[in-house]
């Protein structure tokens, strides 16, 4: 490399090197296309023999082997690992999207009550692609309820939580005995009780822990709460598993207690934070210029909430008197810090901090590792 190139020489040298890089990239893209072909054949074999897509041991072997090879080639093994985690993830999505075509009961009839909403639409597509006959019952379709319910293998209640119990009572008289009745609302106690009271056949409560914009069921969690006749309901859980989802069994009370924390408390805290920023009239644009990636990420979580539907969040936060009680306890707990702030009592803060840190225990280390990884991703992309 000649360090004394003139400007034109520098431009020429960079342009030659870039053409070099482009040639290499062409070969890489073409190899990735070849790889995709072979992966599709693997997926076809797996699909034909009911083998799972996700094969953690094979992935880890592959990564270890490539890390070693990277070392031999004088490359940073972390770099190769990162590139391949991306390639493998994409390859799993492709395989899962082939699996998405797999119906446990192809030709089965699925009725989605509220199938024109976000989550209803999501499941409508899932079942449709997998070869089911999917019917929709929207708010104007009640006159046809009897014919829509006829021969249904499953009826899924996908309506807002405040009308769920009423809809369950209204639809139940139309169901034939073998139909599985399920709901996908974010509360389980009342809807499950309503389903068991209104209908004598197989019942299961479901709560998909993801939104309608999710691109694949791969690794997504669905909580399942048994109602009645687990055996008759099993094919639905198998169907979600076949699509790559993870079923977490729980009883209705445990589910609701945990969701009060995981959803209501968290969303309320985020809401109240955004509310204060708004009242203070802080300049979002200028604070972002001052932002470390982690602040950007945290402010992003607040912004994300307010990009979504206000009624969705009011349903979650005001879902039950127990939830509102929990949120009032949260306000009381926060207020107990007022004296500490007024006195500027750093010692008390540190004592409290250490107590909580101890309770968080090993989760903190894991959280640190995961969030550091994400911050790097955020820095890389934006």
Residues between 310 and 339 with contacts to its own copies, criterion CB under 8 A: 310-311, 313-315, 317-318, 321, 324, 326-331, 333-335, 337-338
Q: Cα–Cα distances in Å, from 61 out to 58, 64, 205, 282, 309?
A: 5, 5, 39, 50, 44
Contact flag: residue 380 with its own copies (CB under 8 A) = yes
CB nearer to its own copies: pick between 200 and 272: 272
Q: How many Å apart are CA 149 and CA 165, to the nearest integer?
A: 18
Q: Which stretch binds its own copies (CB under 8 A): 119-127, 132-140, 224-232, 261-269?
A: 261-269
Return the residues of window 122-141 that contact its own copies according to CB under 8 A. Answer: none
Contact flag: residue 350 with its own copies (CB under 8 A) = yes
Contact flag: residue 255 with its own copies (CB under 8 A) = yes
Q: Cα–Cα distances in Å, from 45 out to 40, 49, 56, 216, 267?
A: 9, 6, 18, 21, 44
Residue burial 367-379, b: 16+ Cβ < 10 Å; e: rest: eeeeeeeeeeeee
Residue of 210, 226, 230, 251 that binds its own copies (CB under 8 A)? 210
CB nearer to its own copies: pick between 27 and 231: 27
Joined together, the tokens standing for residue 282 give: 């802080």
Q: Cα–Cα distances in Å, from 345 out to 81, 332, 355?
A: 47, 19, 16
Q: How far is the CB of 199 from its own copies (least distance, A)?
A: 26
Residue of 136, 145, 196, 209 that binds its own copies (CB under 8 A)? 209
Q: How far is the CB of 127 from its own copies (least distance, A)?
A: 21
Contact flag: residue 169 with its own copies (CB under 8 A) = no
Contact flag: residue 271 with its own copies (CB under 8 A) = yes
CB nearer to its own copies: pick between 143 and 307: 307
Return the residues of window 141-160 that contact its own copies according to CB under 8 A. Answer: none
Rg of the Cα trace of the chain? Answer: 26
Which residue from 303, 208, 200, 314 is spatially nearest to 255, judged by alpha carbons? 208
Q: How far is the CB of 333 from its own copies (least distance, A)?
A: 5
Q: How many Å apart are CA 272 and CA 262, to the nearest integer?
A: 16
Which residue from 211, 209, 242, 247 is spatially nearest to 95, judged by alpha carbons? 242
Contact flag: residue 163 with its own copies (CB under 8 A) = no
Residue of 8, 21, 56, 107 that binds its own copies (CB under 8 A)? 21
Which residue from 222, 167, 156 is spatially nearest to 190, judged by alpha carbons? 167
Q: How far is the CB of 50 from its own copies (least distance, A)?
A: 10
Contact flag: residue 289 with its own copies (CB under 8 A) = yes
Return the residues of window 55-94 that contact its own copies according to CB under 8 A. Answer: 58, 62, 65-66, 69-70, 73-76, 79-80, 82-87, 89-90, 94
Contact flag: residue 302 with its own copies (CB under 8 A) = yes
What residues pair up with 220 in beta bridges, in sequence order?
A: none
Q: How far is the CB of 374 from its own copies (least distance, A)?
A: 5
Which residue from 184, 373, 211 is spatially nearest to 307, judged by alpha carbons? 211
N-term to C-term CA, the chain: 33
């Amino acid at each position: 490399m000649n360090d004394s190139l003139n400007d034109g020489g520098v431009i020429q040298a960079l342009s030659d090197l870039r053409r070099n890089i482009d040639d290499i990239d062409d070969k890489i893209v073409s190899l990735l296309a070849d790889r995709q072909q072979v992966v599709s054949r693997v997926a076809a074999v797996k699909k034909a023999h009911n083998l799972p897509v996700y094969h953690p041991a094979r992935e880890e072997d592959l990564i270890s082997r490539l890390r070693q090879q990277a070392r031999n080639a004088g490359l940073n093994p972390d770099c190769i690992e990162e590139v391949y985690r991306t390639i493998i993830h994409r390859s799993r999505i492709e395989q899962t999207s082939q699996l998405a075509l797999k119906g446990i009961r192809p030709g089965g009839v699925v009725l989605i009550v509220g199938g024109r909403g976000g989550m209803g639409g999501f499941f409508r597509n899932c079942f449709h692609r997998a070869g089911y006959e999917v019917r929709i019952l929207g708010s104007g379709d009640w006159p046809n309820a009897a014919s829509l319910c006829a021969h249904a293998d499953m009826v899924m209640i996908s309506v807002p939580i405040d009308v769920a119990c009423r809809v369950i009572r209204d639809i139940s008289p139309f169901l034939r005995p073998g139909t599985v009745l399920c709901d996908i609302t974010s509360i389980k106690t009342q809807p499950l009780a309503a389903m068991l009271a209104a209908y004598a056949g197989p019942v299961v409560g479901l709560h998909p822990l993801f939104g309608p914009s999710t691109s694949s069921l791969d690794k997504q969690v669905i909580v399942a709460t048994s109602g009645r006749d687990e055996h008759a309901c099993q094919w639905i859980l198998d169907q979600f598993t076949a699509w790559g989802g993870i079923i977490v069994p729980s009883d209705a009370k445990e589910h609701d207690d945990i969701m009060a924390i995981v959803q209501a408390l968290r969303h309320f805290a985020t809401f109240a934070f955004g509310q204060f920023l708004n009242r203070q009239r802080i300049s979002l644009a200028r604070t972002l210029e001052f932002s470390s990636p982690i602040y950007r990420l945290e402010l992003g979580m607040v912004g994300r909430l307010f990009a979504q539907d206000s009624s969705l969040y009011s349903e979650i936060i005001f879902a039950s008197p127990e939830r509102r009680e929990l949120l009032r306890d949260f306000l009381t707990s926060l207020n107990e810090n007022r004296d500490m702030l007024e006195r500027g009592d750093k010692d008390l803060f540190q004592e409290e901090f250490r107590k909580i840190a101890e309770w968080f225990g090993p989760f903190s280390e894991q959280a640190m590792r995961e969030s550091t990884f994400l911050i790097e991703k955020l820095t890389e992309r934006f």
